[in-house]
Chain A
Amino acid sequence: MSIDLDILNRILPSVQRPARYTGGEWNSIVKNWDEIPTRVALAFPDIYDLGMSNLGLFVLYDILNQQPDMLAERVFLPWTDMDAAMRRAGLPLYSLESKRPLRDFDILGISLPYEQLYSNTLSLLDLADLPLLSAARDERHPLVIAGGHATYNPEPMSDFIDLFVIGEGEEIIVEIAQAFHRLRDRPREEQLRALARIQGVYVPRFYDVDYEPDGTIARVRPTVEGAQFPVTKRIVPVLPPPPTRFILPFVRVTHDRAVIEIQRGCTRGCRFCHAGIVTRPVRERPLQEVLDAVDAAIHDTGYEEIGLLSLSSSDYSDAQALVTAISERYKDQNLSISLPSLRIESFSVDLADALKEGRRTGFTFAPEAATEKMRRVINKYVPTQQVLDTAHDVFERGWRTIKLYFMIGHPSETLDDVQAIVELARAVLAQGRRVHGKAAQVNVSAGTFVPKPHTPFQWVPLDTLDNVEAKQALLKRGLRCKGLKLSWPDPQETRLEALLSRGDRRLGRVIHRAWQLGARFDAWDEYFKPDAWWTAMDEAGLGLDAFIHRARPIDETFPWDHIDVAVRKDFLIEDYLMSQRGETRADCREGCFACGVLSTFAGVRSETPAEAWACPPVKPKGRHAA
């Protein structure tokens, strides 16, 4: 039974942007509830405006709804005004398609792309009238599963999630739904034991964590037969055809466009980059498949903007051919096609120019560092002259705004390195002034480095609050002039991100308590409550410093070590030590460093064609020429 629609209709006129809560969008899929045995709710723990821009959730929606015996519906968190109105009216959280309470679904799949969504996840469960703790739920409640980049360290959310999906979800989601259907009448414990055998599934309750007296991790142990150890991520050997029937939101959302992933994974080896490690190996979508998808997307949606996504678009083998084909085919159609994540070089400007991207948006580059030394440390080597030459090119071709991403906060960094950022930004502006005079604009975004799990920097401490504030102050002083704009994250938000991304199971109590103290929408400046978090840490008797400010010895066991992203710890250690010596590594397309992906997935690799992966091919074992 759907929720009481009359009550919903009474509330809607009183909240902001009521169309967030009504569904009915073009391409949304409403199946016949009574005729479909397996029902999955896919949730993004933030509001519609953000969740609708999440491609991962949509990929799963598309795949599940293609199964004749399954349905998938969307759930987003209501904004605070709607949350209050729903609670007052006694309305539980419901899905957009059939307006059914979340409680009625078999499986609740929660997308967790970043850690600041953790407190919202508790709000989601609470508003759905579900017990927050996995241990307090059973077969009468939906199975609560989670996936997404934050789940590569699943430990902090272990108390609340029944099952984590480690890795890519396209195949595993159907396997889990099918297995669940076979087990739907079994007790929850039995369901989880069976599901735990699916490769890539991590069920936290089947593992125990032993601690050393000093609070570090001694070991993680599986306690149940069949629980994988380590849990190796799932990958799809070849990217399946991309979804094209995007749901068209009525209201304005953050990224309101069709999105086609042109390639997954990255070979550049930037040491701070979590995504570049966990999404390996590189698999490109064939050019024709991308072109067909763009065509289908326009036809299925009517979107005026299409984004072609990857971690490093310049590395896509057919980048030039892609751009040429697209600009030719759609030249008279008032379409905006964007290809972001380009390298800092003239060729990128050629590509962007060919796409006839409006000059109204800025051109974005991510140099990250501004000195030789720091470039070598992070392994993202773009010489200053190259940045300036490319900037010059961009301005010459008509763009007036350049956006630059920098990163501060690595422990090897000194104030001189930060000063160099100021100087580089000013030099880029000077280039712009030469061409556009006062109309030139340089927007600098200075992120704060967080040492992420599964990267070569996972042994590195987070910069202290004092250091970060001093560096940010330096940037603010140096970049305070016409034509320059600086944005920077709240250092407290960075500390929270670091805590949650590097934490272990003991943080479950902290997350719960912080939520009780009012932590919500942590990614939103106006809602972020650092005091709720630090109070929760105090109450749990846990010190923030130990989690985030401690440099880790090479032999320390991390809370996420039992999650295998296929890149060997030895490889990361080697890369970490190289960074300390200022040594760089080349793009591994030029020569494989045996990071571990190939050996983990040798069997899978041997069954794919050579050009399907950027990793070298592996000959099938035991097969001989006929």
Chain B
Amino acid sequence: MNEEHQRLRIIFAKGENLRYISHLDLARAWERTLRRAGIPLAYSQGYHPHPKLVFAGALPVGCTGAAEVLDVILTQPMPPRRVLRGLAHRLPDGLTMVDATPVYRRAPALPTLLYGADYEIAIETRLSVEDARSQCQALLARDAISRKFRGKSYDLRPRIDDLKVDRVNHSYLLVQMDLAAGERGTARPEEVLDELGWAEWLYRCHRRRLRFAFDKS
């Protein structure tokens, strides 16, 4: 009944309207969107069949995302053009299609290929750009940044790939954080802000893109 015929990689944006929905909410919204678009989603067998959707990485609640990635398994092959046409006018406000491409069915699972996540965080502060930048340099200059999460210790430093600051206007600074994600370990934007002492100033969080192992070559 649910044979797998095609794996499709969907790149989408999660916008302002959906900022506050959780990852599970998003997964459910996708299942329903695909269903009403008539796109033949495959389901697992067993007592609680669930749809075969795999996200590269969960977007934290409160974040928008410009290029989130999702693999779906279909029971019938469908040309990407048809998928895009089916989804047009059936996506909820805040969900936009960027691309849909068929992917080799037996390629490694998407989360295993996830390498990094790049964020743009707006913080509300009167701190000068120069001071903000030197605080970032100081953080990057540290040999190790030890933290604890759920009782386990880890070093945050290797999980920060890059950290830059720009001024937006007299009230906001824009922090670009390129962080590790997936099997290298995942850094969360709040932890980096916390280490900088800027956690209270968080105004908006946006994920610009995800980076994958296959990007490196």
Partner of B32, one of A251, A302, A359: A302
Provide the residues of chain B in CB contact with A334, threshold 8 Å.
Answer: 2, 43, 49, 51
Q: Does chain B have a CB within 8 A of A53?
A: no
Residues of A contacting B1 in the complex (Cβ-Cβ under 8 angstroms): 332
Q: Which of A19, A250, A298 contacts B36 (CB 8 A)?
A: A298
Chain A hits for B20, CB < 8 A = 12-13, 18-19, 22
Complex Cα gap A519–B89 (Å): 45
How far is B24's CA from A299's CA once the two chains are assembled, in angstroms?
22
A24 to B2, CA, bound (A): 33
The answer to whether B35 and A19 have CB atoms under 8 Å apart is no
Q: Tell me, yes or no, whether B29 is within 8 Å of chain A by CB.
A: yes
Instruction: Please indicate the chain B residues that have their CB under 8 angstroms from the CB of A18 in the complex.
Output: 20, 61
B34 lies within 8 A of A302 (CB): yes
B25 at the binding interface (Cβ < 8 Å): yes
Distance from B190 Cβ to chain A, minimum over Cβ atoms (Å): 11
With known contacts A24-B94, A332-B1, A251–B21 Cβ distance under 8 A:
yes
B92 touches which of A25, A251, A332, A360 (Cβ 8 Å): A25
What are the residues of chain B within 8 A of A208 when measuring CB–CB? none
Asked whether B25 lies within 8 Å of A304 as measured between CB atoms, the reply is: no
User: B38 — nearest CB in chain A belongs to which residue?
Assistant: A299
Min CB–CB distance B142 → chain A (angstroms): 29
The answer to whether A26 and B48 touch across the interface, beta carbons within 8 angstroms, is no
Interface size band for A: 20 to 34
Q: C-beta contact mask, B14-52 vs A, less than 8 Å → 1, else 0?
A: 000111111011001101111111000001000111010
**Cβ of B79 under 8 Å from chain A:** no
* Inter-chain contact A19/B21, CB cutoff 8 Å: yes
Q: How far is the CB of B204 from chain A (nearest CB, A)?
A: 9
Q: Which of A22, A248, A302, A332 has the most CB of B within 10 A?
A: A302
Closest partner residue, chain B, to A251 (CB atom) = B25
Q: How many A-B contacts at CB < 8 Å in the complex?
A: 69
Q: Are B25 and A302 closer than 8 Å at their CB atoms?
A: no
Closest residue on chain A to residue B91 by CB atoms: A26
Q: Is A24 in contact with B93, judged by CB distance below 8 angstroms?
A: yes
List CB contacts (< 8 Å) of B89-115 with chain A.
90, 92-94
B77 touches A (CB below 8 Å):
no
B21 CB contacts on chain A under 8 angstroms: 19, 250-251
Closest to B35 in A: A302
A250 and B29 contact, CB distance less than 8 A? yes
Knowing A13-B62, A334-B43, A360-B47 are in contact, say whether A24-B18 is a contact too (CB < 8 A): yes
A397 to B90, CA, bound (A): 39
Q: Which residues of A contact B202 (CB under 8 A)?
A: 13
The dominant DSSP class at the A interface is loop
Report A293 CB to chain B, min CB distance, Å. Answer: 15
* A303 on interface, CB distance cutoff 8 Å: yes
Closest to A10 in B: B203
Query: Is the beta-carbon distance between B93 and A303 smaller than 8 angstroms?
Result: no
Q: Is the CB of B17 within 8 A of A24?
A: yes
Chain B residues within 8 Å of A332, by CB: 1
Q: Closest CB-CB distance, B207 to chain A, in whole Å?
A: 16
If A24-B18, A250-B25 touch, does A300 touch B47 (CB 8 Å cutoff)? no
Smallest beta-carbon distance B114→chain A, Å: 24
Query: Could you say which residues of chain A place their CB within 8 Å of the CB of B47?
Result: 358-360
Q: Which residue of the partner chain B has the closest CB to A26?
A: B92
| Smallest CB gap from B92: residue in A | A26
A301 at the binding interface (Cβ < 8 Å): yes
The answer to whether B36 and A304 touch across the interface, beta carbons within 8 angstroms, is no
Q: Would you call A304 and B32 a contact (CB within 8 A)?
A: yes
* 8 A Cβ contacts from B1-17 to A: 1-2, 17
Q: How far, in angstroms, from A25 to B35 measured CA to CA in the complex?
A: 16
A504 CB → nearest B CB, Å: 44
Residue interface bits A246-267, CB-to-B below 8 A is 1, else 0: 0010111000000000000000
- Mark B residues whose CB is within 8 Å of A: 1-2, 17-22, 24-25, 28-29, 31-37, 43, 47-49, 51, 61-62, 90, 92-94, 202
The contact sample of 29 A-B pairs, CB cut-off 8 A, is: A12-B20, A18-B20, A19-B18, A19-B25, A22-B17, A22-B19, A22-B20, A24-B18, A24-B94, A25-B92, A26-B32, A248-B92, A250-B21, A250-B29, A250-B92, A251-B21, A252-B25, A298-B35, A299-B36, A301-B32, A302-B32, A302-B35, A302-B37, A303-B32, A304-B31, A304-B32, A334-B49, A358-B48, A359-B47
